[in-house]
Structure 1
Amino acid sequence: MEEELVIASSPTDAGISCWNLRSGAEHLRYKSCSSPSHGLACIGGRFLASSQLRESKSSSGSVLYWSWNKPQVEVKSFPAELINPLVSNREGTYIVGGGVSGDIYFWEVLTGRLLKKWHAHYRAVTCLIFSDDQSLLISGADDGCVRVWSLFMIFDDLRRHEARHLYEYSFSEHSLKVTDIATGYGGCNAIIVSASEDRTCKVWSLSGGKLLRNIVFPSIIDAIAMDPGEHVFYAGGRDGKIYIAALNAQGVSRSNYGPHIIGSLSEHSKAITCLSFSVDGILLVSGSEDGMVRVWDTKTRNIIRIFKHVKGTISNVLVIRQSPYLIRPTLINSQAPSARRHGPVLPPPLEKYTDSMDENADIKAIIPPHVTSDKPLDASYISIQTMSSQIRELQQQGSSAASEMETERLKLDCKRCMQMVQQWKKMYENLHQFCVNELLDGDQAGGASGHS
C-alpha cells in the first residue's frame, strides 16, 4: 500500500511538520512558515506551497515554496496583495489564491504567469476548493457568500461576455463569515457543504443550485471533512468537539445535539481548526489550537495516533500520498549530491500582475479559437478550444523548470503505464492457464466416459 504523509502548519512561525501517517515516523520540518487557515497546499505531489500571514500593515502578501528534501524556503513570490487561501488543482498545473480584497488570482505553475484575476467577493476570500473533476472552483468569503465558478466560463471570452455574471451560483444564506467548504463527487452534479461562524453548516446541490439541508451546531464550526461515501460529514467546533452530521435524507439524530447530528468525537482541549481524510477514507486527521494532530479511526471512533507540532495552533493539516521526490532525512546527509540531483527544479515565482497593460483589469482577454468554417461552434466546443489554445501558448513559453517538471511527470506516467501493462499481462496469463485447465479437465472427463 502506498504510504501517506500528514503535513501540518501553524499561523505562528513554527514551520511545517511532516509525519508518516501509518508508522508515525517524522520527516523533515520545514522552516519559516506562518500559514493562515487554508493557506497550505501540496502542488501535484512535487513541492509544498503556502501563503503567509502579513508581517506588518505595510507589507504585501507572500507565497513560499519548499522542495521535499530541504527545510529552507527555496522560492518566494510577492503577489499584489495578501493571499489567504491557496489551492492547487490535482495535477499541480495551476495555483489559485484568494485575496483580502475579495479578488481571486489564477496562476500557471510552470511559468508563474498570472493568467486571470477577477473580483469574486465583497470582502476577503477565506476558502477555496476545486470540484472533484477540476472544472469548478468554489469560494467562500468574509461576506458570508459561497460562489461557484466554472473554469470554462472564466477562460472563455465568448461565454463570459454573454453572461450576466461570472459565477454559476451565488449562495448567500450564511449570515457570517464562511469558514470552510467541502465537496462531494460528481462534478457539476455534486453536493457541497459550507461552514460558517453563524454556527450552521449548509448542504447545497450543484445540479439545482438549491439548499438541501441546514444544520445548526452547538458551537462555531471552523473545519469540515466529508466522508468519501457521503453518508456523513465531520464538523470541527471551537468547543474542541468534532461533530458527526448525517448527509442522507433519512438521517435521524441519536444524540442531544439537535437534528441530523448523530454523534461527536472529543479529545482535543481547544478549538478544532482543520480536518482531513486519509486516502482510503477510514482515518480522519484533526488539527487544533492545542497544537496537537490526532488521527481517528472513523469506524471505531478511537484515536490511533497523536502528533505534536513544534508549538502553537495548527492552522492546516493535509494528508497526501508520499511523494517520489521525498528522500528520508537519514539518506539526505549521506547522499546529499544524489538527493539534489533527483529532486525536481522548482518553478519560478508567481507573477504580481497579468501581462495586460491595464494592471487593474479584472479579466485578461485571451486569443479566441481559430474557426476554419462558417458553421458556428457550440459553446462547450468553444470552451475546450479556448482552454486548449491557452495550454499550447503556455507550453510554447515554458522555462527550464517547466521542462524538468514535465519530464518528471512523463516519467511517472510511464511508470504507471508499465505497472498497468504488468497487471494486464498477469491477468492474461491467469486467463490462459484457466482455459488450459478447463480444456484438460474436459478431455479427461471425456476420456473417462469413453472407457466406461
Structure 2
Amino acid sequence: MSSSSHPNIILTSSPDGPITAFDATAGVALCHFSGSRSPCHGLALVGNSFIAASHISPETPSSGSIHLYNWWSSTALHNFLVPEPVAPLEASPDGLYIFAGGVSGCVYTLSVPSGDIIRSYSAHNKPVSCLKISEDGSLLISGSDDGTIAFVPIFQIVENSSSLMLQSFVAHGGTVTAIEQYDSTIISCSMDSTVKFWGMFEGTKLRQVTLFPCAVMGVALDQMKTEFFAAGSDGFIYNGSSLNVGTKKHSNRGGECIRWPQKHEGGIVSLIIMSGGKNLVSASEDGKVFIWEIETGKIIMAFGTDMGCISDMVVANGIGQGLRLGKRDIDSWDGYGGFYKEELSRTLKETLDLEEVLKVAAKDRTRAIDMLESAISMYERLLELILKEAMKLGLGSSKK
C-alpha cells in the first residue's frame, strides 16, 4: 500500500467498547472515542467535522440516541435523543444532516449540530437495516429486515415537503444487509445469500448472483464499477464482475465469483475501497481489520482491537493531514484519548470549530449591525442640525 502525505484514518465501532481510530498506513491505534455501544452500520462521518455513532443503552431499551464527536475529544460533544432505538446512520455530503434508521421502519432526519429532528417518515414495515446516499447526493436509499428497498429525494426530506416521493420495491427474501449505487443501478446484498442488481427507478431486477454459501453482509465496488466485492458471514471475501459479461479475470477462473483464499475468523461486517482503488479494507466481528491488495487478493496488513467485536467501519480520507500518524509519542495525545489539538491542521481545526466560529460571527454581526444603526442615527441627527443651521443662515441672508 503506497504511503500518502494525507493518510487515511480507519474508524471502527463496537457494541462492547469504544470507537477506535487507526492509522491506515502503519496499522497502529491512534485514539479511542468512548461512551458509545454501536450496532451494525451505526457509524458515520459527518462532513469533515464530526463522527456520529448510534448508541444502544441497556438502561433505556425503548429509546435511542446518537453520539456526536469531534476529532480531538474522546467524549461525545452532543447526545442527540431519538424516540426509538436506531442502528444505521448516514450523513448528508455537506455534513448538515444525519439520517438514522429506526427499529419501527421509520427514518429520522436530524439537523447538525443542534440535533433537532426535522423530519421522520415511515419507509418500511420492519427495522431499517442499512442506509446509503446516492452517488450524486440526491437520494436517501434504505434497506430493511422486511427485504424491501426504498428511496426518497433528500431535498424533500430536509425542506420538510408536505408529501414525499417515496418509491420502494421488494428486493430480497431476507434482511437487506448493505446497498451500493452507481449511475441508475442499485446493488444490494442480503441474509438470503444473494447479491442483486436493480434498475433504480423501475425497481426491475437486472441480475442476480446466488453462488454464495453464506449470508452476504456487505458489498463494495471497485473504482471503475466493473467488479464487486462481497463480504461473507463465513469470513471470506468474494470477488465478482458487476457487468453482465464477466471480466477476463473471472472468465479465466471459470466462475461468476472468485473466493479469496485468506479469511477472517468471524463474519465480515464492512468493506471499503481506498487508496485510489488499489486496496480493500475489511472489518470483522473477530475484532480484526485487514487491508487487501485488490490486484492479488492478498492481505498486506492486519491489525485490530482488544475492545471486542467490530460492528461497523468507516474510512476518513485525508483527515490525517497535519497529524503525526503512526507515532505513539505522549504529546500526540490530549490526555483523554482524542487527537491533541496542535496535531490538527489549521484548516481542519477551523472546520472542527465551525460551530463556535459561527456563534462568534453571529454575535459580531449583531454588534456590527447595532453599531451601524447607532452611527446612522447619529449622522441623521447631525444632518438635521446642519440643515437647521443652513436654514438659519439662509433666512439671515435674505433679511439683509
Q: Return the TM-score normalized by structure 1.
A: 0.69
Shift of 1:54: 3.6
- Go from structure 1 to structure 2 and tell me whether the alpha carbon gap of 1:70 and 1:220 turns closer, same or farther (over 3 Å shift): same
Query: Is the contact made by 1:18 and 1:26 (CA closer than 8 Å) also made in structure 2?
Result: yes
* Match of residue 95, structure 2, among 76, 92, 103: 92
Partner SS for 1:27 = strand
Shift of 1:240: 1.1
AA paired with 1:210? T
- Go from structure 1 to structure 2 and tell me whether the alpha carbon gap of 1:192 and 1:265 turns closer, same or farther (over 3 Å shift): farther
In 1, Cα distance between the equivalents of 2:173 and 2:95? 34
In 2, Cα distance between the equivalents of 1:405 and 1:246? 51
Structure 2: gaps (5+ residues): 325-329, 363-400
Residue equivalent to 2:176: 178
Answer yes or no: is 1:306 the counterpart of 2:302. Answer: yes
Answer yes or no: is 1:223 the counterpart of 2:223. Answer: no
Aligned residues with identical type, % of pairs: 30
AA paired with 1:76? N
AA paired with 1:180? A
* Match of residue 246, structure 1, among 241, 244, 259: 241
Q: Deviations over 1:331-365 (max 9, x none)?
A: 44599676799756979xxxxxxxxxxxxxxxxxx
- Pairing of 1:299-448 with structure 2 (within 5 A): 299-323=295-319, 327-328=323-324, 330-333=331-334, 343=349, 400=356, 402-403=358-359
In 2, Cα distance between the equivalents of 1:399 and 1:291? 34
Shift of 1:33: 2.2
- Go from structure 1 to structure 2 and tell me whether the alpha carbon gap of 1:33 and 1:57 turns closer, same or farther (over 3 Å shift): closer
Residue equivalent to 1:27: 30
Q: Deviations over 1:372-393 (max 9, x none)?
A: xxxxxxxxxxxxxxxxxxxxxx
In 1, Cα distance between the equivalents of 2:217 and 2:61? 28
Answer yes or no: is 1:268 the counterpart of 2:264. Answer: yes
* Match of residue 284, structure 1, among 280, 283, 306: 280
Shift of 1:322: 3.5
In 2, Cα distance between the equivalents of 1:337 and 1:212? 50
Shift of 1:210: 1.9
* Match of residue 82, structure 1, among 85, 90, 103: 85
Query: Is the contact made by 1:272 and 1:288 (CA closer than 8 Å) also made in structure 2?
Result: yes
AA paired with 1:132? E
In 2, Cα distance between the equivalents of 1:174 and 1:283? 29
Q: Deviations over 1:301-346 (max 9, x none)?
A: 1211111112321111111124379755624459967679975697
Q: Deviations over 1:50-101 (max 9, x none)?
A: 0012414644111112221222223212211111111112221111001111
Query: Is the contact made by 1:277 and 1:283 (CA closer than 8 Å) also made in structure 2?
Result: yes
Query: Is the contact made by 2:18 and 2:32 (CA closer than 8 Å) also made in structure 1?
Result: yes
In 1, Cα distance between the equivalents of 2:108 and 2:292? 35
- Go from structure 1 to structure 2 and tell me whether the alpha carbon gap of 1:145 and 1:134 turns closer, same or farther (over 3 Å shift): same
Answer yes or no: is 1:213 the counterpart of 2:207. Answer: yes
- Go from structure 1 to structure 2 and tell me whether the alpha carbon gap of 1:199 and 1:110 turns closer, same or farther (over 3 Å shift): same
AA paired with 2:189? A
AA paired with 1:269? E
Query: Is the contact made by 2:71 and 2:352 (CA closer than 8 Å) also made in structure 1?
Result: no
Residue equivalent to 2:165: 166
Query: Is the contact made by 2:69 and 2:77 (CA closer than 8 Å) also made in structure 1?
Result: yes
Shift of 1:207: 4.9
Query: Is the contact made by 1:232 and 1:247 (CA closer than 8 Å) also made in structure 2?
Result: yes
Residue equivalent to 1:234: 229
Query: Is the contact made by 1:85 and 1:126 (CA closer than 8 Å) also made in structure 2?
Result: yes
AA paired with 2:114? T
Q: Which has the higher strand share?
A: 2
AA paired with 1:250? V
In 2, Cα distance between the equivalents of 1:114 and 1:192? 28
Say how many residue pairs are matched. Answer: 345
In 2, Cα distance between the equivalents of 1:66 and 1:47? 5
Answer yes or no: is 1:9 the counterpart of 2:13. Answer: yes
Partner SS for 1:71 = coil
Residue equivalent to 1:204: 198
- Go from structure 1 to structure 2 and tell me whether the alpha carbon gap of 1:339 and 1:293 turns closer, same or farther (over 3 Å shift): closer
Shift of 1:400: 4.7
Shift of 1:219: 0.8
In 2, Cα distance between the equivalents of 1:34 and 1:326? 29
- Go from structure 1 to structure 2 and tell me whether the alpha carbon gap of 1:337 and 1:8 turns closer, same or farther (over 3 Å shift): closer
In 2, Cα distance between the equivalents of 1:202 and 1:282? 24
Structure 1 vs Structure 2 CA RMSD: 3.1
Pick which of 38-47 and 204-213 moved more.
Answer: 204-213
Shift of 1:102: 0.7
* Match of residue 113, structure 1, among 116, 133, 137: 116
Partner SS for 2:331 = helix
Residue equivalent to 2:368: none
In 2, Cα distance between the equivalents of 1:226 and 1:108? 30
Q: Deviations over 1:150-208 (max 9, x none)?
A: 124445677x64xxx731x3220311111111122x3xx3x221111111111112254
Query: Is the contact made by 2:72 and 2:340 (CA closer than 8 Å) also made in structure 1?
Result: no
Pick which of 121-130 and 73-82 moved more.
Answer: 73-82
- Go from structure 1 to structure 2 and tell me whether the alpha carbon gap of 1:270 and 1:330 turns closer, same or farther (over 3 Å shift): same
Answer yes or no: is 1:193 the counterpart of 2:192. Answer: no
- Pairing of 1:148-167 with structure 2 (within 5 A): 148-154=151-157, 161=163, 166-167=165-166
Greater C-alpha Rg: 2
- Go from structure 1 to structure 2 and tell me whether the alpha carbon gap of 1:285 and 1:85 turns closer, same or farther (over 3 Å shift): same
Pick which of 241-250 and 327-336 moved more.
Answer: 327-336
Structure 1: gaps (5+ residues): 348-397, 407-452
Shift of 1:17: 1.3
